[in-house]
Every structure is written in C-alpha cells, then in structure tokens.
C-alpha cells in the first residue's frame, strides 16, 4: 500500500501545516468538552439528565457535520470549506464568551458539535490527498496531533476554569482564529488539487459525483463502520459512567481525571514510536485487530479493578487499543475508498463514531441501572470481541479481491 515518497507535488498541502491545524483545533476543543458537564450542573444548575441531552445533541450535530462536510469535500473546494468552518467556530466561541447562560449554552454546544464534525471530516479528507507519505503515517500523525492537543488543552483548562470561564472561551476562540489563519496561509495547494480533480472528471466525461466503491471494498468498509461504532459505544462509558463507579469505590475524582492525562500522554509516546517504526505491524489490518483486542481486554480487566492502581492498568490497556486501532481504521478505509469519494467515506467514518459517542452513555446507563457495572463490563468486552468475529473472516475472504486506491 506504499507509494513512492519523494518531492511533494504542488497540489499537496505540507503535512506539517495540516498537523498544526489539527493541533490547534484539538487544543481549542479540549478547552470545552471537559468542563461542559461540570459547568452546566454546578454553575448553571442544570440537572444531569438534561446535561446528558445536551451532550447527545452535541454528538448528533457532530455526526451531521461530518456527513455534510465529507459530501462537500468531494464536490467543492476544500480550501474555502475549512476556512469557513474554522472561522465560524471562532465566531461561535466568541459569542459563548459574551453569553454562556442557560438555555442558549445548549444551542452553542449543538452548533460547536456540528462545526467539530465539519472541521474534523475536512481535515481527515484533506489528509487523503497527501501522497508524499504513506496513509498509515499520515493518520498516525493526525492522531498524535489530536492527543497532543488533548494533553495541552486539558492541562490548562482546570486552572482557566477556576480563574475565569469567560477567558477560557476567549482563548478557545483565538485558537480557532489560529486554525483559520494557518489554513489561509498554508492550505492553498488544495485549490490546485480541486482544479485538477475537476479537470480529471471532465476529461473522463464524468459527472461531478463520487465514484462507486467496489462491492468487496464496501463490505469490508461497512464492517469497519460497525466496529468503530461499537467501540465508541463502549468507550464513552469510560468518559461518563466510570467516573461514578470509581467515586463509589472511594477513589477521589481528581484521580479519575488523572487517568485521562495518562491516556493522552501514552498516546503521544506511542504515536512518536509508531512514526519512527511505521512497519511494526505487518499490515494496517493487523494493527486494527491488535487495537480492538486491547479495547476488549481493557473491559475484562475492569471486572477485577477495585483500586486506583488496577484502573491505571485498565487505562493503559485501553490506550494501547486506542493508539493503534483509531488511526488505522480511517487509514484503511482511505485505502479502500475511490479517489473521488474519499471525503464521503471519511465523513461516514466520523459519523459512525459520533453515533457510538451519542448513544454510549445512555446504553451504558441502562445496562448499569438494570444489571450493574460488572455485567456492563462483560457486555462491553463481548461486544467488542464480536467485532473481530465479524471483520476477521470478512477480511480473510475478501482481501485478495480489494481494489486499493492511493
């Protein structure tokens, strides 16, 4: 799946600038999502049930933004699409700084969810146009930038929250201004890319529409969509219901928060290692299988976790899965996607993730309320292992019939 990697063509964005945009985007996002539940409940006195609905709306809007952005990428100039998304995001955050009362905060969170999906899908789609590096390397580096952003964002958000919630939103807005400026100055090669894409379609007498994915590719891609949706369905309970479980065991909340610092830090280290040794896994699919296995094992270890040390071990296992499977799945889907439809399938990848994120806390809450935490951990582990039962035979049956696109 490798191509010759030499001089960067003039229609290709420098990967460094794409990573900078992703880094600033995720630092800004990490100023917002950790505080939403606490701010709504403690400062605005919104019930936890309504907080859950706000988060659900944010995730659903994220899904819609991802789909529309993927569709738009395949048809319109991505240069202007990304500048528009980042600029509107900055404007919305400045508006939040001016008025973050209830219930307008609900509207702002829904809008930022849409824009997060929009910007994320566009950056992932633009990444598919970079051919001077292997797609595995490109998506590993994007994942590295995301998690470095999470480390930096969550590192400062607690201090800024105590100092001034308004200042926090202003800084987040300025970060998205930075995303916009970076795009304006450094993403101009995508204009040429779009012109060449249109010219190729006209030359081939094609209508401006995405190419149909070969059926064998689609079967594998659909299996990966189901897989990533189920993974996020279970994963989101680490971000929601697990905090309640740990506190009920007498573990302080700040130690639960520290788990996410461990998570992001390990991901950064792993991505640096994998960028240095990109062929540690024989194929992208082997990397995906390893990551999914680690996700499932992490929930098995939670069955026996009763103290902070064991939760750290569970988090390390989870992080190994996240750092390997999460960048590999969109990279593999990129290789299976026709050139004219890459934006569509990257958007759908983020959308299936958003469905899992949106439904995860609700699904986990229902299982936990009726059957308890231990039974949920068992259900999660089995559910994730079943995705391997789905995709491994599918890959074995179809791998020699795939059409690989660069």
- Report the CATH fold assignment for 210-406: Growth Hormone; Chain: A; (1.20.1250)
Give span(s): CATH 1.20.1250.20, the chain.
13-209, 210-406
Q: What is the pLDDT along the chain (406 residues), one digit of tens a residue?
A: 334 444 556 667 888 899 999 999 988 888 886 677 667 777 788 776 677 788 788 888 988 898 898 888 888 888 899 999 999 999 999 999 999 889 999 999 999 999 998 998 888 888 888 888 877 788 878 878 887 887 788 777 766 766 778 888 999 999 999 999 999 999 888 877 777 777 766 655 555 555 788 999 999 999 999 999 999 999 988 877 787 788 788 887 678 777 877 888 888 888 788 878 877 888 889 999 999 999 999 999 999 999 999 999 999 999 999 999 998 998 899 889 887 787 788 778 878 887 888 788 778 888 888 898 999 999 999 999 999 999 999 999 998 998 888 6
- Separation CA 29–CA 2 (nearest Å): 33
Instruction: State pTM to two decimals.
Output: 0.71
- What tokens does 65 get? 């933004």
Any alpha helices (H) in 187-283, and if so which ranges?
A: 189-203, 215-239, 241-248, 253-276
**What single DSSP character describes residue 42?**
I
Write out the H or E segment, with its range, that includes residue 87: helix 78-98
Q: What is the pLDDT of residue 374?
A: 95
Q: What is the pLDDT of residue 77?
A: 87
- Separation CA 233–CA 117 (nearest Å): 17
User: 13-209 domain in CATH 1.20.1250.20?
Assistant: yes
- Separation CA 217–CA 86 (nearest Å): 33
**What single DSSP character describes residue 403?**
P
């Amino acid at each position: 799946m490798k191509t010759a990697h030499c001089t960067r063509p003039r229609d290709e964005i420098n990967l460094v600038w794409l990573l900078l945009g992703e880094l600033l985007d995720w630092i800004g996002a990490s100023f917002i999502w950790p505080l939403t539940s606490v701010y709504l409940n403690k400062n605005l006195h919104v019930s936890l049930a309504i907080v859950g609905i706000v988060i659900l709306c944010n995730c659903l809007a994220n899904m819609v933004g991802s789909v529309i952005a993927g569709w738009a990428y395949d048809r319109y100039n991505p240069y202007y699409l990304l500048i528009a998304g980042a600029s509107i995001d900055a404007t919305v955050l400045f508006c939040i700084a001016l008025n973050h009362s209830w219930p307008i905060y609900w509207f702002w969170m829904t809008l930022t969810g849409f824009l997060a999906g929009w910007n994320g899908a566009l950056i992932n789609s633009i990444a598919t146009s970079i051919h001077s590096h292997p797609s595995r390397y490109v998506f590993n580096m994007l994942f590295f930038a995301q998690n470095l952003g999470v480390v930096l964002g969550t590192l400062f958000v607690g201090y800024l929250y105590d100092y001034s919630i308004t200042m926090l939103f202003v800084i987040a807005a300025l970060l998205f201004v930075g995303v916009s400026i970076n795009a304006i100055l450094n993403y101009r090669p995508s204009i040429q890319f779009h012109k060449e894409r249109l010219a190729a379609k006209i030359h081939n007498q094609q209508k401006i529409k995405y190419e149909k994915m070969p059926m064998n590719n689609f079967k594998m891609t659909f299996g990966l969509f189901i897989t990533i949706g189920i993974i996020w369905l279970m994963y989101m309970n680490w971000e929601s219901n697990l905090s309640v479980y740990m506190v009920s065991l007498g573990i302080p909340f700040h130690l639960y928060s520290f788990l996410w610092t461990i998570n992001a830090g390990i991901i950064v280290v792993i991505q640096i290692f994998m960028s240095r040794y990109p062929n540690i896994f024989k194929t992208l699919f082997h990397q995906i299988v390893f990551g999914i296995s680690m996700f499932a094992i992490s929930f098995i270890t939670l069955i026996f976790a009763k103290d902070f040390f064991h939760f750290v071990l569970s988090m390390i296992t989870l992080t190994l899965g996240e750092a390997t499977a999460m960048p590999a799945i969109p990279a593999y889907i990129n290789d299976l996607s026709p050139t004219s439809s890459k934006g569509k399938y990257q958007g759908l990848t983020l959308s299936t993730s958003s469905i899992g994120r949106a439904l995860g806390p609700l699904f986990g809450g229902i299982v936990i309320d009726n059957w308890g935490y231990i039974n949920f951990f068992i259900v999660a582990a089995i559910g994730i292992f079943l995705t391997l039962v789905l995709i491994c035979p599918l890959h074995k049956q179809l791998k020699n019939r795939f059409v690989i696109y660069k």
